[in-house]
């Protein structure tokens, strides 16, 4: 069985669980808690030097980390990776955007506001929210007239961006982003979809 080191509230881990659900990949889930770094070293030290989740251990015992790399490993050769070379390259275009402009602002703002006790409401949060709104506006503009981020079918890019976008209401007002709202509903209606709580 594939072993998935996972954190229930993490959007990065949800990406992997969502792809696994779509592909019917059987796996065993090991959940870690937010901030539990000591336990993390014991658990992940030999598997992922960054001590972060998601981390998977493949059936042959090799480990793989970084949500995008894990999506790529399991997605290759499936309907979630376009065959056309240009579309295939557009997929990491959006996955890198997610990691650099979207996750780094939206996920961190969400954590400071909704998963810190007390919430870290300060100038840094305001900066993250401003940058997060810019990323959401970029995504919303790209989705104008489109059902999916790349080409005319769901790809790993939709899975990667769906995760923190559908959690962004824990820190952002999403009501003005009409295309994002429509796309979120569309991705959630895809057969095989599972919510974060699954």
**Residue 37 sits in the site that holds ligand GSH (CB under 6 A):** yes
Cβ closest to ligand GSH, residue 106 vs residue 154: 106
Question: Which residues within the stretch 17-36 sit at the binding site for ligand GSH (CB under 6 A)?
Answer: none
**Residue 105 sits in the site that holds ligand GSH (CB under 6 A):** no
Cβ closest to ligand GSH, residue 53 vs residue 91: 53
Which residues make beta-bridge pairs with 2? 27
Cβ atoms of residues 184 and 162 within 8 Å: yes
Angle of CA points 148, 150, 152, to nearest 5°:
60
Q: How many residues bind ligand GSH (CB under 6 A)?
A: 11
Smallest gap from Cβ 162 to ligand GSH, in A, equals 14
CA dist., res. 95 & res. 163, Å (int): 12
CA dist., res. 36 & res. 76, Å (int): 33
CA dist., res. 23 & res. 26, Å (int): 9
Question: Which residues within the stretch 63-82 sit at the binding site for ligand GSH (CB under 6 A)?
Answer: 66-68
Q: Which residues bind ligand GSH (CB under 6 A)?
A: 7, 10, 12, 37, 52-54, 66-68, 99
């Amino acid at each position: 069985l594939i072993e998935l080191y996972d954190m229930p509230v993490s959007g990065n881990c949800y990406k992997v669980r969502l792809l696994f659900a779509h592909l019917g990949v059987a796996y065993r889930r090991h959940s870690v808690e937010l901030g539990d770094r000591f336990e993390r070293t014991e658990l992940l030290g030999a598997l992922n030097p960054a001590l972060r989740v998601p981390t998977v251990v493949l059936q042959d015992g090799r480990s793989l980390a970084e949500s995008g790399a894990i999506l790529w490993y399991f997605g290759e050769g499936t309907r979630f990776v376009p065959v056309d070379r240009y579309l295939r390259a557009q997929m990491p275009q959006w996955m890198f955007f997610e990691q650099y402009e979207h996750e780094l602002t939206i996920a961190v703002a969400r954590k400071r506001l909704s998963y810190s006790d007390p919430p870290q409401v300060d100038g840094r949060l305001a900066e993250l929210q401003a940058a997060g709104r810019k990323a959401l506006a970029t995504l919303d503009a790209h989705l104008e007239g489109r059902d999916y981020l790349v080409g005319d079918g769901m790809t790993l890019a939709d899975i990667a961006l769906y995760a923190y976008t559908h959690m962004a209401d824990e820190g952002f007002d999403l009501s003005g982003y009409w295309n994002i709202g429509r796309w979120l509903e569309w991705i959630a209606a895809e057969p095989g979809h599972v919510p974060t709580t699954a």
